[in-house]
Amino acid sequence: MVKDMPLTLNDSQACVDQLIQRVGKDITLGLPLGLGKPIRFVNALYERAQADPGINLHIVTALSLTPPGGSSTLEKRFMEPFVERLYGDIPELDYARDVIRKRLPPNVTVSEFFFKAGAFLNDATQQRRYVCTNYTHAVRDLMDLGVNVLAQLVAPPTKAGDKGLLSLSCNPDLTLDLMPLLRQREADGNVVAIVGELNRHLPFLGNSAAISDSQFDLLLEHPRSDYPLFSAPQMAISPEDHLIGFYASTLLKDGGTLQVGIGSLGSALVHNAILRHQHNAHWKAVYDQLAVAANFPVVESLGGVDPFEKGLYGCSEMMVDGFIHLLEAGVIHREVYNNAELQELINQGRIEPDVSLDTLDVLHAEDLIDSPLRARDVALLRGYGIFRSDVEYKGGRLRIGEQSLEPDLDAKASREAISALALGKKLTGGIVIHGGFYVGPASFYQKLRDLSPEDRQRISMTSVNFINHLYDHAFGNQRLKAAQRAHSRFINTAMMHTLNGAAVSDGLEDGRVVSGVGGQYNFVAMAHELPGARSIICLRSTRKSGHKTVSNLVFNYGHCTIPRHLRDIVITEYGIADLRGQPDEQVYLRLIRIADSRFQESLLAQAKKAGKVDPAFQMPLGWRNNTPERIKSLVQSAGGGDVFPAFPFGCDFTDQELTLGKALKGLKAATATRRGKMAALWRAIKASDEQGRYASLLQRMNLDNPKGLRETLDQKLLIHGLDLIQTPSNTGNQPT
């Protein structure tokens, strides 16, 4: 059955009219994670539900993006100009705003399976409505929740050859699997609707992400109402983050596979991988200075120290902007192919990227092609560039224009003719990055729009089930995935890690959800299934809790995301703990070794008390220097900010904002307790800026001429905060 072409409308309210006419007023709306939400359509539907209590609207999604705010008046003064600069031209996601303000009408429900980290810790309603699921199970759960409308932001074609196609671009992750299931639900007699909202700011990406526009029922298209894409600003990389990223970069194997997530730890890894590739002598000097090989011998068997000659292949549910930086730097350039047998031969070094008669001989020896060649063989060879695109198989012969060749690989004359006339130059159709979704800074989106046709073709945004699973039914070629994902390094972050090997990444022991499981469990499990693969969990050794510093390596915890039986490699700024296959005593000791020294003795005492470590064990002297002072000294001696900059990939904050952010961050820490607040207020009352040191900063905060008691107090608090950091020009930290 040929599906009707979609109804295209240029008015969001008219689009909602058509939707209700089609499916009625009971709507369970599935929206993509993150960037791909069609804001104008969703806002119009939400507005209609607000006005009509007869509409029952259930929105099921993840990571609803909203501009950052501030909790105090000072933070709001800081954020408002920044938010206006970055997000002023982007329409607000109205339902997400009302979720935060707890103003949803009773006929609207919002359920998410992944929160913006920490956003709803104190929102009991959203905590109750949270859906806990692995990313790869989200499609199943969306269908079980009764989704009957799927809506997504899509990119229109940008060149004539793409006419009739729309790109799912930033979010094919779940949509590629949801669409056929919804059509099957429709075939079973249920009414469904698939809605696309076109936006020309969204980069058009092909391969799996490009689908026929006929797969949609309704399209909202209004060129003059296109809006910029929501951006996630770059996070500052601290010295501790840089060392974590450096240690992780030692575990990358040339010719391997990389998965990495968003945030400063992911950016630190990307920066250090580029450092290893482009400034190898300096990278090796740091490697030697840290005595990595002697202290953590696992790197010599798993990683490498040389530039990436073979290159890496990226396979990550989230294509972060770091992947494009790695592509531009020449780190990511290992191509994979959609043929398991061919990929295995490439991995073995038996087939090279440069095409020759040897290529045909290897394929023939492995029974992948026949001699004489047949039509299916020619199609295979042409599909991967081994034969030129104009080679045809007709009447049992090879045809190239007016030329006609015998397809016999065993005859000398035929081989010479095939070599001269039919062979291509290099393998084609290779992919260097598979991603499920993306979100990042505005510069990242521009880089995607500016990709050369060659690089655009080498990036495939696709289903998360292809990326996160080895055994999924839809894509099901386990052999292909294993061949492509050689020497995989699945690098993720955690909030805490227990000494018995469990990772805490998504929630607290009182049951509150911080973010979500996402795909972390999938990648960790896959690392234990794939030959040569490793899971790497990165975390800072400590965190601030009010005035106190607490350890992120803990003896035990009442919640975990990754169970202890999947323990593998853990990295802090103090080194690498290889836990896979180790007895419990070694697991406990290796984690204590990379803990902050302020907590090592207490952790060791707990381990001994539990009988997990020999009571006679004494901590080696070499473990006892895990201090922040040592980290600063190491980074400084390695080149400091010139080698390990806070923002290696650009920054959305001005220098003024970086200074103000550092001051506000220090002020927030100083006032975390009641006693601290009283002390800060007392000092702030006496604070002044008679010399005008902070004039431009006060002006940026609109506090240069305060009016009233509240503004005067805010001004004095800010001056006190700036006095606390002492160096107003310091740009080494990110604003809060």
Cα-based distances in Å from 554 to 513, 557, 630: 19, 7, 22
What is the predicted pLDDT for the residue at 732? 42
Q: HEC profile for 264-304?
A: HHHHHHHHHHHHHHHCHHHHHHHHHHCCHHHHCCHHHHHCC
Judge whether 129 lies within some domain: yes
Helix (H, G, I), strand (E, B) or coil at 176: helix
What is the domain-level CATH number for residue 487?
3.40.1080.20
Q: CA-to-CA distance for 532 and 647, rounded, in angstroms?
A: 33
Pairing of strands 210-212, 165-167: antiparallel
Judge whether 427 lies within some domain: no
The answer to whether the CB of 243 falls within 8 A of the CB of 265 is no
What is the predicted pLDDT for the residue at 730? 41
Match 């901590």 to its residue by tokens.
Answer: 619
What is the domain-level CATH number for residue 89?
3.40.1080.10
Judge whether 231 lies within some domain: no
Q: CA-to-CA distance for 312 and 487, rounded, in angstroms?
A: 10
Query: What mean pLDDT is predicted for residues 606-622?
Result: 97
More confident residue, 680 or 252: 252
Token output for 603: 């952790």
Residues 500 and 606 in one domain: yes
Q: What DSSP letter does each residue of 459-503 carry, written as one string?
A: EEE--HHHHH-SS-TTT--HHHHHHHTTTEEEEEE-SEEETTS-E
What is the predicted pLDDT for the residue at 262? 87
Q: CA-to-CA distance for 352 and 350, rounded, in angstroms?
A: 7
Based on the structure, what is the number of domains in the chain? Answer: 4
Q: Is the pLDDT of residue 642 over 60?
A: yes
Q: CA-to-CA distance for 575 and 626, rounded, in angstroms?
A: 10
Residues 271 and 347 in one domain: no
The answer to whether the CB of 553 falls within 8 A of the CB of 499 is yes
Query: What mean pLDDT is predicted for residues 74-82?
Result: 94
Residues 372 and 396 in one domain: yes
Token output for 290: 């840290």
What is the predicted pLDDT for the residue at 669? 83
Match 């009641």 to its residue by tokens.
Answer: 674
Residues 74 and 162 in one domain: yes
User: ω into residue 648 within 30 of 0, thus cis?
Assistant: no
- Which domain, by its residues, includes 12? 7-225
Residues 535 and 603 in one domain: yes
Judge whether 230 lies within some domain: no
Q: Is the pLDDT of residue 2 over 70?
A: no
Q: Band the pLDDT of 404: cuts 50, 70, 90.
A: very high
Residues 140 and 18 in one domain: yes
Q: Is the pLDDT of residue 183 over 80?
A: yes
Query: What mean pLDDT is predicted for residues 13-34?
Result: 98
Cα-based distances in Å from 40 to 153, 191, 227: 10, 23, 9
The answer to whether the CB of 202 falls within 8 A of the CB of 158 is no
Which of 611, 629, 647 is the C-terminal boundary of a domain?
629
Residues 471 and 605 in one domain: yes
Query: What mean pLDDT is predicted for residues 263-292?
Result: 96
Q: What percent of the chain has pLDDT over 70?
A: 97
What is the predicted pLDDT for the residue at 171? 98
Judge whether 650 lies within some domain: no
The answer to whether the CB of 105 falls within 8 A of the CB of 99 is no
Q: What percent of the chain has pLDDT over 90?
A: 89
Q: Which helix (H) or strand (E) holds 696?
A: helix 695-700
Q: CA-to-CA distance for 518 and 58, rounded, in angstroms?
A: 21
Token output for 436: 């499920």
Q: Average per-residue pLDDT in the chain?
A: 94
Query: What mean pLDDT is predicted for residues 555-559?
Result: 97
What is the predicted pLDDT for the residue at 735? 43
Q: Band the pLDDT of 161: cuts 50, 70, 90.
A: confident
Which of 184, 199, 225 is the C-terminal boundary of a domain?
225
Half-sphere exposure of 465 (CA within 13 A, CB side): 17
What is the predicted pLDDT for the residue at 1? 43
Residues 696 and 609 in one domain: no
Match 């959800």 to its residue by tokens.
Answer: 513
Report pLDDT digits (tens) over 220-254.
998 777 999 999 999 999 999 999 999 999 999 99
Helix (H, G, I), strand (E, B) or coil at 332: strand
Report pLDDT digits (tens) over 464-475.
999 998 886 655
Closest CA relative to residue 258, chosen from 419, 100, 492: 492
Q: Is the pLDDT of residue 67 over 80?
A: yes
Q: Is the pLDDT of residue 729 over 70?
A: no
Within 10 angstroms of residue 417's Cβ, the number of other Cβ atoms is: 19
Residues 23 and 146 in one domain: yes
Phi first, then psi, for residue 507 (nearest 5°) are -155, 175
The answer to whether the CB of 75 falls within 8 A of the CB of 44 is no
Cα-based distances in Å from 113 to 36, 117, 126, 134, 141: 15, 12, 10, 9, 10
Q: Band the pLDDT of 728: cuts 50, 70, 90.
A: very low
Report pLDDT digits (tens) over 496-512.
999 999 999 999 999 99
First to last CA, the chain: 55
What is the predicted pLDDT for the residue at 673? 82
Q: Is the pLDDT of residue 381 over 90?
A: yes
Q: CA-to-CA distance for 325 and 440, rounded, in angstroms?
A: 12
The answer to whether the CB of 518 falls within 8 A of the CB of 562 is no
Report pLDDT digits (tens) over 301-342.
999 999 999 999 999 999 999 999 999 999 999 999 999 999
Residues 348 and 444 in one domain: no
Judge whether 1 lies within some domain: no
90: exposed, middle or buried (Cβ count in 10 Å: 0-12, 13-18, 19+): middle
What is the predicted pLDDT for the residue at 69? 85
- Residues 6 or more apart from 668 whose CB is under 8 A from it? 72, 736
Judge whether 234 lies within some domain: no
Residues 149 and 284 in one domain: no
- Residues 6 or more apart from 693 whose CB is under 8 A from it? 722, 728
Q: CA-to-CA distance for 32 and 113, rounded, in angstroms?
A: 11
What is the predicted pLDDT for the residue at 736? 39
- Residues 6 or more apart from 645 whose CB is under 8 A from it? 237, 271
Q: CA-to-CA distance for 31 and 112, rounded, in angstroms?
A: 10
Which of 421, 449, 473 is the C-terminal boundary of a domain?
421
Token output for 308: 């990436």
Displacement of CA 458 from its chain's centroid (Å): 18
Judge whether 67 lies within some domain: yes
Residues 117 and 210 in one domain: yes
Token output for 147: 């989704």
More confident residue, 734 or 471: 471
Query: What mean pLDDT is predicted for residues 362-379?
Result: 97
The answer to whether the CB of 384 falls within 8 A of the CB of 423 is no
What is the predicted pLDDT for the residue at 3? 63
